C-alpha cells in the first residue's frame, strides 16, 4: 500500500510538473509577443503566430458596442517606426489541459509613452495534429 501511495504521489507530481513546465514555455512565448510589439519586429511576430491568426476586438464607447475581427497580419503591416508601442502585461492566467492551452492576459497599452487603452489578450494554442477536432 505504501508503494502504491508513493507511486500515485509521484505520478501526480510529474503531471503537475509537465503543466508547470508547459506554462513557463507559454509565458516565454507571450513575453516574446510583447517584445515583438515593442520592437515592431515582424520576423519575431511571424515566428510566433500562424498566418491566419485573428484579432477580435470589443470596444464600449458612449452606450454603443463595436465588434471587429481582423487578421493579425493586417496589424503587422500597419507598424509605424515613429510610434513607440509599450504593451505591459498585468497578470498571466495560464490553463493547460493535455494538448490545449489558453492564456488570459490583462494589459495596458501606451503609444509614445501616453496611455492608449487597456484590455485582455487571450492566446489559444493547440498541438499539431489537433486541427481535425
Region of poorest pLDDT, from 10-19, 54-63, 77-86, 106-115? 10-19
132 in a structural domain: no
Greater pLDDT, 117 or 3: 117
61 in a structural domain: yes
**What CA–CA distance (Å, rounded) separates 97 from 84?**
36
**What CA–CA distance (Å, rounded) separates 117 from 107?**
9
133 in a structural domain: no
Average pLDDT for 66-76: 86
CA 114 to chain centre: 23
Predicted TM-score of the model (pTM): 0.72
131 in a structural domain: no
Percentage of the chain modeled with pLDDT above 70:
79
Write the DSSP symbol of residue 45.
H
108 in a structural domain: yes
Provide the CATH number for the domain around residue 27: 3.10.450.50
How many domains does the chain fold into? Answer: 1
**pLDDT score, position 125:** 75
Q: Closest Cα to residue 51, out of 61, 39, 42, 40?
A: 42
In the block, residue with C-alpha cell 499539431: 128
- Distance (Å) of CA 123 to CA 28, 33, 48, 53, 103: 13, 10, 11, 10, 5
**pLDDT score, position 78:** 84
98 in a structural domain: yes
**What CA–CA distance (Å, rounded) separates 62 from 73?**
30
21 in a structural domain: yes
The residue range of the domain holding 26 is: 2-126
51 in a structural domain: yes
Amino acid at each position: 500500500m505504501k508503494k502504491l501511495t508513493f507511486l500515485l504521489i509521484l505520478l501526480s507530481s510529474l503531471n503537475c510538473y509537465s503543466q508547470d513546465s508547459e506554462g513557463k514555455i507559454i509565458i516565454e512565448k507571450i513575453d516574446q509577443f510583447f517584445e515583438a510589439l515593442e520592437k515592431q519586429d515582424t520576423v519575431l511576430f511571424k515566428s510566433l503566430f500562424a498566418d491566419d491568426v485573428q484579432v477580435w476586438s470589443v470596444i464600449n464607447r458612449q452606450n454603443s458596442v463595436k465588434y471587429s475581427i481582423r487578421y493579425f497580419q493586417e496589424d503587422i503591416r500597419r507598424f509605424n517606426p515613429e510610434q513607440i508601442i509599450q504593451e505591459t502585461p498585468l497578470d498571466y492566467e495560464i490553463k493547460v489541459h493535455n494538448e490545449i492551452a489558453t492564456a488570459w492576459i490583462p494589459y495596458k497599452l501606451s503609444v509614445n509613452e501616453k496611455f492608449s487603452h487597456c484590455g485582455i489578450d487571450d492566446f489559444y494554442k493547440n498541438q499539431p495534429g489537433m486541427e481535425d477536432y
